[in-house]
Every structure is written in C-alpha cells, then in structure tokens.
C-alpha cells in the first residue's frame, strides 16, 4: 500500500480536514510513490497559528547558543537518517543516488550548521556619535526575529533549497511554515520527525503540502499572520507571490529563473571548460537554476569544444537512481518533459542544428512510463530564438560562436535574466574584466557551482530580489533596530 505524506503542524503529523489528496508519481517508471494529503485553508490557518504562538513560547526565550545546539542536532539528525532522506529524494525526483548523496543531502544538513554558527558569530554594528554638549551618544543595532516566515520551495533540489531558507530562518529565531513543491513532498515531511527528535519546540517548524493556486501555496502567501515570504521558483510565480505579499507590506526574498551563459575564451583550458560545461548543462538532468543553457565559445576553439562536449554528453548514462554508472535521471514529470520537448521541437523549427540528442531515449520496458529525455546540444541557434532566450530547465544547451570580448559580453547580457554565469579563460586580467561586466548575481571563473555558504546568493533582473547567504540573509530574516544611548 502506498505511503501517506501528511502535514506537519505543531509538532504532529496530520491529514487535511478536507480529505483532499493527490498522487505522487515516480518520474522513473510512472509508479505510485505516495498519497499526499493536501492542505487547504484550514490547515494553513492552523500551521500559521501554531508558528505564531511558537514565537511567544520557549523558542523566544532561548539563547543563541541553545538555538545553535538544536540546529546542530537537526543537521546530525539528517545525517543519522541519510539513507532514508537519500532514497526519498531520489524516489521523488528520479535523480541518481550519486548526485543526491554528494549534493542534496549533505548540503541539506550543512545548511543548519553553517547558519547556526554564522548567527552566533556575527557582530552587531555600533556607531559612536558626537553631540553638541560634548558627551556623545552610542548607537547600536539589535536584531530580532522577523516572525512567521513562509518558505515556498521548488522541486529541483528539494531538501537543499528548502533548508537553505529554513536554516537561517531558525538560526535567527523565527518560526516557519514550509510549502514544498507538490512534486517533491517527502523529504520536507521527513524533516518534521528530525525536528522533534532534535528538541525543537512544537510549532517552530510546520509543513503544509499541496499546490500553488487555490491550495496551500496561495493560502500561505496570502495569510495575514505571515510576516515575510521567501520563495524559490519560476519568475512568473514570484510575481504572483509578490502581489500577495504587497497586502500588509510583507517582506519578500525571491530566487527565480535564469538563462545562464558560459563564455569560453580561446585562451581557456578547453578540457576543463568542457568538463565544467558538462556539469553545468547536464547535472540533475539540466534542472538547476544556475545551469548553463547558452555556451558562447570563441571561434578559434569552437570545433574542438563542440566535439569534446558532444562526446561527453554522448557518454552520459541515463537511467534510474540506483542504476550502475548512471549520471543522468529523468525529468521531474511528464508535464515538464512536454515543456522541454516543445523547446526541442521549436529549436529545429527556428533553424538550430541538432548536434546531439533532440528527443526521447529508448529505455527498457520497465521504465517506459518514465519522463526520460535525451541530453541535447544545438549548433547554429539564432540569438533571438526561443532556445537562446527562454529558460528551458532541461539537459540542453546551444553552442554559440563569438569573435571578441565586447561582442560576447553584449550577447551574454542580452537577456531578461541575471542569475549566474561562468567564464573560462587562463588570462587573469580578462577574468576580472569580464566577470565584472557580466550582469549576474553570481559569476564563476574556471568553475561552476562552487559555493561557499557565507557568500551572497541571488539574482539580478528577472532572476530575483534580494540576497541570501552569509550575513546577507540577516537583512531578510531579522528586523534591525537602532538603539541610541545619550551618554
Ligand atoms: P514553480 O514556480 O512552479 O513552483 C515553486 C513553488 O511555488 C512550488 O512549491 C509551487 O507549488 C509554489 N507555487 C506555485 N504557484 C503558486 C502560487 N500562486 N502561490 C503560492 N505558491 C505557488 O517553480 P518550480 O517549477 O517548482 O521550479 C523551477 C523554477 O525554479 C525554475 O524557474 C528555476 O530556475 C527556479 N529556481 C530558482 C532558483 C534560484 O535560486 N534562483 C533555484 C532553484 C530553482
């Protein structure tokens, strides 16, 4: 019998009063993973009330060190149940164990430790001030929790991206109501038990399951007792959530879509650039917000780069999470595959040449109902074609030749998005010069997805609003009060 996935409210797992449920279907073989109980308005009300009440309970009177110790226990709790989290994440997403065991689960745990330690060690600002009487005054900042934080998260890195927000929110003394993606409800639900085992007071961490519109997501975003909303997902969903947040002037943090570029100069180490682009275009089946879908390659090394990237992509082993040597799973769902395939078709209609892939792979009968897709590389795509302009969120990229630095920067920046970019060059001056001119929140030189959690993370233009990570998250997760003492 299929497992039930429930809400987690006030420290207890509970079904929904409406009795509404939906099926969580495997993207690997179309089988039923679980029945998810959907939260409607009543459950969202209860979750938010529980989070609001917990702001006045034992959580509020805990010292930073006591909170720090609980957050460390949460991280240890995830690690103690590593295999359970790993299996659940890979079942929901179809991603290979090799990916989730190196990225999703360890980072999911690390998010609690890093932010707990950071909050413990960050100094408050002070300003000594001159006054007409000569005695002076002392200003100092005091940070207090913002209150009830709504965390609305996506399906591509479910545990990692949800804890990336829950970690700092709790470290700063807030309480949370989390709405994971309807595609990937399980690891967020599992985290409830870890929270109880770690001794987190009831009501500090709550989970509501369901969809966006007319469901848990929208009810949560609109709830007047939510003090701030942190969201990761598509830009158009972010716009809807911003409208909801406008009522009551609630603060928002938005981590949204991207159409990221890589620029490979002719002085780059081509093999390293190919290896980096293999990861940035195809890891997690291309479902990474920071992933690269536009690869600008200098004309002098274009053919060599294209041949080597095509060889690497051809060697990718597509299969189920536990398959031998598998390094690429399916897309998250058939609905998403339809979207990605529509871009594969549009690419050809709009004049791109398919260097590799372009369709659905032949899979063994056992996996016939999975959402499989081929890794795909295009040549000759026009700068104004859909595959160069719009976020596809699949394992694909266009290889685009260029001749000089100014030209390639102008083309790379000619996008409504501004999340991430990578530059491949062995020339240090060029590295600094071009990195500084790329319109993006994150730029890597000779690497990709190298993340230090103490650094700022976020996007420019349509890719988001605000920065999280390191001390930057404090701006969002705390209310800063200035206290001025006349001496
Ligand atoms: P999505 O916008 O469809 O959904 C994200 C979350 O919002 C889900 O939990 C969903 O149920 C909820 N939601 C949907 N409509 C809502 C509404 N009206 N009100 C409240 N909640 C609502 O995004 P997705 O398909 O899950 O994720 C893929 C997208 O996320 C891509 O665009 C990707 O680039 C982006 N993303 C960005 C980052 C980043 O850090 N910038 C990271 C990962 C993913």
pLDDT digits (tens, 9 = 90+) for 106-144: 999 999 999 999 999 999 999 999 999 999 999 999 999
Question: What is the arithmetic mean of pLDDT over 411-418?
Answer: 98
E runs forming strands in 10-118: 12-14, 21-25, 32-37
Indicate whether 174 pLDDT > 90: yes
Provide the 8-state DSSP code for 141: E
As given in the structure block, the two tokens for residue 473 are 């998250």
% the chain with pLDDT above 70: 100
C-alpha of residue 254 to centroid of ligand 1, in Å: 10
Whole-number average pLDDT of the chain: 97
The pLDDT tens digits for 333-360 are 999 999 999 999 999 999 999 999 999 9
As given in the structure block, the two tokens for residue 55 are 């702001």
- For 3-256+463-486, which CATH superfamily applies? Aldehyde Dehydrogenase; Chain A, domain 1 (3.40.605.10)
Question: In the chain, what is the straight-line distance between the N-terminal and C-terminal CA atoms, in Å?
Answer: 70
C-alpha of residue 87 to centroid of ligand 1, in Å: 23
Q: What is the dihedral of CA 195, 201, 204, 205, to 10 degrees?
A: 20
**b vs e for 304-338, b when ≥16 Cβ sit within 10 Å of the residue's Cβ?**
ebbebbbebbeebebbbbebeebbbbbbbbbebbe
As given in the structure block, the two tokens for residue 300 are 């002098």
Q: Is the pTM of this model over 0.95?
A: yes
Nearest to 234 by CA among 125, 152, 340: 152
Task: Give pLDDT, residue 17.
Answer: 87
Question: What is the arithmetic mean of pLDDT over 179-194?
Answer: 98
Indicate whether 1 pLDDT > 80: no
Distance CA 417, CA 467 (A): 15
- Burial group, residue 168, by CB count within 10 angstroms (0-12, 13-18, 19+): buried
Indicate whether 218 pLDDT > 80: yes
Tell me which residue has its CA closest to atom 43 in ligand 1: 289
User: How many Cβ atoms are within 10 Å of 81's Cβ, its own excluded?
Assistant: 17
- Burial group, residue 373, by CB count within 10 angstroms (0-12, 13-18, 19+): buried
Distance CA 51, CA 70 (A): 17
Position 2 confidence tier, pLDDT thresholds 50, 70, 90: confident
Per CATH, is 260-452 categorized as 3.40.309.10?
yes
Nearest to 284 by CA among 324, 329, 319: 329
- For a ligand 1 pocket test, name from 153, 154, 213, 336 the mutation site with the most ligand atoms within 8 angstroms of its C-beta: 154
Place of tokens 């997403």: 93
Distance CA 320, CA 419 (A): 30
Question: What is the arithmetic mean of pLDDT over 264-272?
Answer: 98
As given in the structure block, the two tokens for residue 315 are 């060697």
Question: What is the arithmetic mean of pLDDT over 444-466?
Answer: 97
Catalytic amino acids? 255, 289
Task: Give pLDDT, residue 206.
Answer: 98
Strand 464-465 and strand 251-255: the pairing is antiparallel
Distance CA 106, CA 113 (A): 11
Position 193 confidence tier, pLDDT thresholds 50, 70, 90: very high
User: How many Cβ atoms are within 10 Å of 59's Cβ, its own excluded?
Assistant: 21
- For a ligand 1 pocket test, name from 186, 209, 234 the mutation site with the most ligand atoms within 8 angstroms of its C-beta: 234
The pLDDT tens digits for 430-454 are 999 999 999 999 999 999 999 999 9
Q: What is the dihedral of CA 461, 462, 467, 468, to 10 degrees?
A: -160
CA 328 to centroid of chain Cα atoms: 19
Plot region of 407 (φ>0 → left; ψ -120 to 50 → alpha; else → beta) = alpha
Distance CA 413, CA 270 (A): 23
Task: Give pLDDT, residue 16.
Answer: 84
Main-chain dihedrals φ then ψ at residue 205, nearest 5 degrees: -125, 120
CA 156 to centroid of chain Cα atoms: 7
**b vs e for 271-282, b when ≥16 Cβ sit within 10 Å of the residue's Cβ?**
eebbebbbbbbb
Q: Which atom of ligand 1 is nearest to the CA of 180?
A: 9
Give the binding-site residues of ligand 1, using a 6 Å CB cut-off: 152-156, 161, 179, 181-182, 211-213, 217-218, 221, 232-234, 237, 240-241, 255-258, 289, 391, 393, 419, 459, 463-464
Is there a contact between 149 and 169 (Cβ–Cβ < 8 Å)? Answer: yes
At 196 the three-state DSSP class reads helix
CA 249 to centroid of chain Cα atoms: 25
Partners of 376 in the β-ladder: 396
Nearest to 171 by CA among 58, 82, 66: 66
Distance CA 252, CA 466 (A): 8
C-alpha of residue 39 to centroid of ligand 1, in Å: 18
As given in the structure block, the two tokens for residue 89 are 């994440």
Tell me which residue has its CA closest to atom 22 in ligand 1: 212
Indicate whether 256 pLDDT > 90: yes
Is there a contact between 285 and 317 (Cβ–Cβ < 8 Å)? Answer: no
Is there a contact between 170 and 20 (Cβ–Cβ < 8 Å)? Answer: no
Indicate whether 14 pLDDT > 90: yes
Ordered strands of the 353-356 beta sheet = 353-356, 376-379, 396-402, 292-298, 260-264, 420-424, 442-445
């Amino acid at each position: 019998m299929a497992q039930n996935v429930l809400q987690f409210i006030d420290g207890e797992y509970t079904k929904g009063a409406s009795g509404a449920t939906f099926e969580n279907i495997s993207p690997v073989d179309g089988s039923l993973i679980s029945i998810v109980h959907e939260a409607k308005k009543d459950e969202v009300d209860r979750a938010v009330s529980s989070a609001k009440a917990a702001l006045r309970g034992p959580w509020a009177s805990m010292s930073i060190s006591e909170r720090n110790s609980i957050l460390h226990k949460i991280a240890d709790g995830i690690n103690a149940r590593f295999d359970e989290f790993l299996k659940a994440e890979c079942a929901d997403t179809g991603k290979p164990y090799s990916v989730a065991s190196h990225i999703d689960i360890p980072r999911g745990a690390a998010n609690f430790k890093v932010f707990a330690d950071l909050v413990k060690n960050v100094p408050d600002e002070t300003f000594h001030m001159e006054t007409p009487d000569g005695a002076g005054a002392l200003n100092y900042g005091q940070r207090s929790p913002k209150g009830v934080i709504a965390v609305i998260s996506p399906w591509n890195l479910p545990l990692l991206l949800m804890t990336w927000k829950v970690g700092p929110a709790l470290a700063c003394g807030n309480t949370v109501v989390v709405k994971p993606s309807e595609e990937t409800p399980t690891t967020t639900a599992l985290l409830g038990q870890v929270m109880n085992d770690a001794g987190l007071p009831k009501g500090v961490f709550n989970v509501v399951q369901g969809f966006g519109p007319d469901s848990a997501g929208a009810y949560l975003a609109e709830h007047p007792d939510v003090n701030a909303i942190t969201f990761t997902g598509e830009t158009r969903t972010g716009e809807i959530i911003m409208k909801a947040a406008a009522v009551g002037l609630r603060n928002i943090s938005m981590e949204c879509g991207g159409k990221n570029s890589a620029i490979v100069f002719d002085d780059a180490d081509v093999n390293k650039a190919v290896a980096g682009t293999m990861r940035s275009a195809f890891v997690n089946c291309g479902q990474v917000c920071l992933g690269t879908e536009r690869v600008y390659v200098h004309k002098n090394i274009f053919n060599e780069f294209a041949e080597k990237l095509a060889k690497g992509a051809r060697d990718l082993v597509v299969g189920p999470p536990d398959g031998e040597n598998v390094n690429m799973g399916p897309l998250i769902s058939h609905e998403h595959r339809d979207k990605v395939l529509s871009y594969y078709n549009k690419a050809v209609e709009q004049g791109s040449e398919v260097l590799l892939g372009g369709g659905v792979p032949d899979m063994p009968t056992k996996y016939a109902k999975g959402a499989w897709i081929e890794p795909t590389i295009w040549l000759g795509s026009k700068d104004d074609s859909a595959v160069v302009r719009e976020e596809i969120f699949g394992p694909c990229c266009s290889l685009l030749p260029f001749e000089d630095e100014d030209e390639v920067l102008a083309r790379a920046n000619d996008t409504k998005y501004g999340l991430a970019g990578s530059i491949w060059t062995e020339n240090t001056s060029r590295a600094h010069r071009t990195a500084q001119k790329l319109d993006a929140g994150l730029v890597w030189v000779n690497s990709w997805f190298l993340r230090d959690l103490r650094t700022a993370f976020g996007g420019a233009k349509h890719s988001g609003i605000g920065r999280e990570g390191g001390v930057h998250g404090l701006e969002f997760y705390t209310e800063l009060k200035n206290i001025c003492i006349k001496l």
